Amino acid sequence: MTPENDNNLELRENLNALRGEIGELSTLTTLLASTLAFFKLLPPDYQKYNTRPISGDLSSAILRLIPSFQAAVVEHVLPTWDPALEEARLAVLTESFFCPKTSGGIEALVIAHAYNSLLLPPIGDPNTKILLKLVARYPASLQFTTLFTRESVPPISQKEGLWDIFLQGYFSVPSKVMNILGRETPEALSNNAYLSGVAEDAEKLIYDLSSRAAHDQHLESLSTFIVKMLRNGLFPHTNVVSFQPSFFSLNTTRIRERVCSSDSCSTLWTTLLSTLPSPLFQQLLNSLLACMSWASGLDLDKKTRIRIIDNAKFLRRLIGPLGNQDQDRWDNVQSILLGRSWGEELARTVVHWVAGFEPRVDAEGLSELQSRALDVWASSQHILYSLLAKQKYVTTLLALSISFQDPGSPSIRRLLTDQLFLNSISKYLSHQDPSVRRCGMFIAEIVASKCNQKLDFASWEGDGESKEWFRSLRQLVIEGTQGRILDDSYDEKEAFTLTAAKQEEIDIADISTSHPDTEGNKKRGQPAVMYDSDDSLTGYASPDPSSRSASPTPSELEEIAKDPSLVAGREANKIPKPVFLLQLSDLITTQKDEEQKEPAKHEMALREGESLIRRKANYGTELDENAVNLTLAFIRLQDNYEITGFSEKKQSILAALVACCPERAVPCMIEQFFSSQYSTEIRSTILTALVLGAKELAGVTTHPVQPTFPSKTLPPHLHRKYLSSSDTENPVQSLLEGITRQAIDQSREKAENEIPQIAREKQLRLRRNLPARSIVEIRRTQHPNDAQSATVTTTFNDIAPEFFIMPLINRFWLYLHDERSRESRSAFSSSRYKGAGTGMILHPMTLGQFLSSLAVLSYMAQNSLAYISIITPAALELAIAVGTRPLSDAEVEEADLDQRTAGEKQATVITGALELSLVVLDGCWNVDQGRNLALDHPELLLAVKELGTGIFRTLEKGVLLPGSGNEAYARAQRASAGVLLKVEEMIAKWRASMLTY
């Protein structure tokens, strides 16, 4: 066996030992020290712990074990032994696997894999501590220098691969650490602070490389680094996002100073940017120009001229001269410069950048700039649709590019015969906006002047219509070189200072313009406000009698202003929008000192309530803390001021509370539903909110049935406008009708194959002329026993039994028991209590909607684990009891006195009970084909059959339940037929197992 194989065997033994269980600290220190010593990473002060040294030389095969050792330390050593190593002051033995303190020649290889290894899960405190030291001690600039400019162990062919591995881990540090640690992430590893350090380190690396002689051979690796920064957001397209670090915002001052003072640094930057792909170069240039904060307008003062010249020199030194040879570079620059409106200052700077600062201007570059600016300026889209700001920007760029060229130059003379240019002048002159028209006039005059011809539209004097702006631009054009010829007072140092202070000036200007009513602005001579008779509250005196009513007196206006019902629409915009949920609750809480603002506050709460609740759904615990208070407040909110859309907005807010915070809002709503202080309308609102919120949680979608004939209804917005309250369809009933139709159709299709046609038509008349409803579909979630979900999320199936269905059923039984007890106690009293009176829960109208809501909720919970064992028997027991037994003693007495009233109650309640039974039976069939119900609860199945058979026979004989119209009759007939079909399917399937029945 060769020595190399011996070394490899000993290292692998150490690696396996580190991955296994280590009993003593001394054993661990020996393994760590011997491995570090072999790789020449052990600090001199810790050589005494190398009691079992490994001899031999390093080879490429052995070096490939370094990532394995790093992974073993992260996954097995640090989680168990880090506290003990810290206490014994031996933590250096683990840190040296990632942050070597020695110069053994392989530190570049160690660092290349260190970031990826330390980011292996779980990321705990030991990993974070070592990462902080690694980031501070070995940034990208030092790794690049160590890897490419020093003698190191990895061969040249492997260095590019190691650099890619390093950059992959280097840029993934903040995202991976923050995903694991969240708010506990150290500040140095947060996204903003970390990427800011990367940006500053990258600029330092470029400057250091510029001072080296052979920096050209590392351009590809350096370009890879720039590309990584681009893809990690260090070159944003705007400079207004404060939380996003920007490379140029952090380094522009240093880069400007270095490229203007060092030819080698300027050359490196220019060459480096030329190696970038076109999309990335455009992104970088856009970020550079955005961070330089260009001002709009045509300031002609000396300070502005100095800043423009200094910026132009900076761009020429950083990006390089454009000329007219590199068409790809021109295409990239054009897409940025002419793709948006930057402002006139950038246009002036670009012309200087292209023209250059030599005694002779770059005529070819100016000709190319003129040609490309003309393509945009003369396009029909730009003339017709561009805003005035961009019109001025492009006009400035074109005018100055022409003015910088010699009179009679070929590129200018070609414009006289250019059909595109001539047609564009005609389009400008026919434009409706005078300011845009003058853009065409101005360019035409400049071209004529440069070709020794005279053209004067004589429309530049006076104010308004941008005449002042064109006079300033004409002054720049007359000067010819736009301030390039300055007096002797120009100083490079002064220019640099002025440019560096530009951002602060712009910020101050923005503050002053955004607050025009401040005291400082008032001192600039605002005119005094004069008395205007129109502001008076006194009506005009009319000597002649008039048929019109007299103007209101001041006292009458005060009385009108005090009327809260007239303030809602007028004062709503004066109420600040709520930002926190506590503010939303305060808006609908009555306060004695603000009764006049109450309508406006209610309107603002209804307008902003739903969106605010949904925004707070996944943001902290604010919604959990305020959900109950908001639920109670909105349930009790009354439409005392006739606010437009009050019911719809209130309904949407309550549904949003159910969908966003069901654990708190739903129990509160159920408890309030069974309270005796609310009207039928409020109880209907609560039930509808429960159903709509559950629909959102369950992911139920509705698909409206499209008519096969031309619709005669109005357009949707007019249909909603003229729709009366009586025509408005209950969303719960609409959902339930689609669900029951789907259940019956499935059974009917199966029955058509088994029942003869004549018997089927005689026994089941299911089709009636009913209005088209929505077909309801529910997303079938994966059964928990089939596969383990990667992420745990709260769905309606998880919370339906505990928070929705069973609380409704259990609370109903408790309420029914209390009502029957109260009736029995007052049976012989002179003022007898009636539990099924108007406005009570046992009244047929409220009870029918209760059963319909429970049916829809049961349908949505079909995929719940508790559906078969808990929800099904509880719901069927409720349906059978409500459908077969009187809920109040008053029902029997009223039936004897008034058969019609009793019939109405019976029809409404029985239809709801049948529909609830149908939905539950259909769910049992879909889940297990009724096995659990038929075998474990056969008495319920037969009781439902008896209920459906009795109603179906009654309706088949032609007996109409009193109070049931065409639609109610059809609902009862369809529901009873559907129940019988479902029961027969289950009995036929499990008849052999139902021996005792």
Rounded CA-CA distance 940/469 in Å is 88
Picking from 566, 569, 608, 570, the residue whose alpha carbon sits closest to that of residue 587 is 608
Structure-block tokens of residue 248: 């140029």
Give one DSSP letter per residue of 505-539, joined into a string: HHHHHHHHHH-TTSHHHHTTTPPPPPP-GGG-SSP
Mean pLDDT of the chain: 78
The residue length of the chain stands at 997
Q: What string of H, E and C letters represents the secondary structure of 826-857? A: CCCCCCCCCCCCCCCCCCHHHHHHHHHHHHHH
pLDDT over threshold 50, residue 24: yes
Count of other CB atoms within 10 angstroms of residue 940: 20
Structure-block tokens of residue 328: 């790809």
Rounded CA-CA distance 978/923 in Å is 13
Residue 857 CA neighbour count, 13 Å, CB half: 30
The sign of the dihedral angle between the CA atoms of 229, 231, 235, 240 is negative
Least confident of 63-67, 455-459, 797-801: 455-459
384-398, 773-787, 876-890: range with highest mean pLDDT: 384-398
DSSP three-state, residue 776: strand
Q: Which residues of 971-985 are buried (b: 16+ CB within 10 A; e: fewer)?
A: bbbbbbbbbbbbbbb
Distances from the Cα of 231 to the Cαs of 42, 318, 440, 463, 483, in angstroms?
37, 21, 42, 49, 39
Task: Please compute the mean of the pLDDT values over residues 594-604 and round it to a whole number.
Answer: 83
* Predicted local distance difference test score (pLDDT) of residue 932: 87
Rounded CA-CA distance 170/176 in Å is 11
The label of the residue with tokens 């029914």 reads 816
Per-residue confidence at 630, pLDDT binned at 50, 70, 90? very high
Distances from the Cα of 414 to the Cαs of 354, 373, 406, 728, in angstroms?
20, 15, 14, 70
Per-residue confidence at 471, pLDDT binned at 50, 70, 90? confident
Rounded CA-CA distance 219/723 in Å is 71
C-beta separation of 74 from 117 below 8 A: yes
Task: Please compute the mean of the pLDDT values over residues 603-628 and round it to a whole number.
Answer: 87
Tens of pLDDT along 683-729?
999 999 999 999 999 887 655 444 444 455 666 656 555 554 444 56
Picking from 702, 707, 705, 629, the residue whose alpha carbon sits closest to that of residue 661 is 629
**Residues sharing a CB contact under 8 Å with residue 294, sequence separation 6 or more, in sequence order:** 342, 343, 345, 346, 349
The label of the residue with tokens 């957001």 reads 233
- Both ends of the chain: CA-CA distance in Å? 83
pLDDT over threshold 60, residue 863: yes
Rounded CA-CA distance 962/978 in Å is 22
Structure-block tokens of residue 157: 């062919």
Structure-block tokens of residue 83: 């506290």
C-beta separation of 227 from 284 below 8 A: no
C-beta separation of 114 from 169 below 8 A: yes
Higher per-residue confidence, 551 vs 800 = 800
Residue 784 CA neighbour count, 13 Å, CB half: 10
Per DSSP, what are the bridge partners of residue 557? Answer: none
Rounded CA-CA distance 156/997 in Å is 86
Per-residue confidence at 404, pLDDT binned at 50, 70, 90? confident
Count of other CB atoms within 10 angstroms of residue 961: 18
Rounded CA-CA distance 693/860 in Å is 11
C-beta separation of 980 from 948 below 8 A: yes
The label of the residue with tokens 């030599």 reads 358
* Predicted local distance difference test score (pLDDT) of residue 903: 40
Tens of pLDDT along 896-933?
444 444 344 467 788 888 999 999 999 998 888 888 88
C-beta separation of 849 from 812 below 8 A: no
* Predicted local distance difference test score (pLDDT) of residue 724: 45
Q: What is the DSSP letter of 729?
A: P
Higher per-residue confidence, 665 vs 461 = 665
Structure-block tokens of residue 933: 């119900």
pLDDT over threshold 70, residue 596: yes
Picking from 819, 830, 809, the residue whose alpha carbon sits closest to that of residue 891 is 819
Q: What is the DSSP letter of 97?
A: T
C-alpha torsion angle, residues 826, 829, 835, 836 (rounded to 10): 150
**Residues sharing a CB contact under 8 Å with residue 349, sequence separation 6 or more, in sequence order:** 294, 308, 311, 312, 315
Picking from 684, 683, 695, 621, the residue whose alpha carbon sits closest to that of residue 658 is 695
Task: Please compute the mean of the pLDDT values over residues 641-658 and round it to a whole number.
Answer: 91
Percentage above 70 pLDDT, the chain: 74
* Predicted local distance difference test score (pLDDT) of residue 773: 43
pLDDT over threshold 60, residue 411: yes
Tens of pLDDT along 323-348?
766 788 888 888 888 887 888 888 88
The label of the residue with tokens 């609750």 reads 585
* Predicted local distance difference test score (pLDDT) of residue 394: 92
pLDDT over threshold 50, residue 506: no
Higher per-residue confidence, 674 vs 296 = 674
Amino acid, single-letter form, for residue 430: S
Distances from the Cα of 886 to the Cαs of 516, 897, 955, in angstroms?
74, 16, 20
Rounded CA-CA distance 257/259 in Å is 6
Task: Please compute the mean of the pLDDT values over residues 238-253 and round it to a whole number.
Answer: 77
Per-residue confidence at 303, pLDDT binned at 50, 70, 90? confident
Rounded CA-CA distance 739/774 in Å is 9
Amino acid, single-letter form, for residue 200: E
Structure-block tokens of residue 452: 């020794």
pLDDT over threshold 70, residue 995: no
Task: Please compute the mean of the pLDDT values over residues 992-997 and round it to a whole number.
Answer: 66
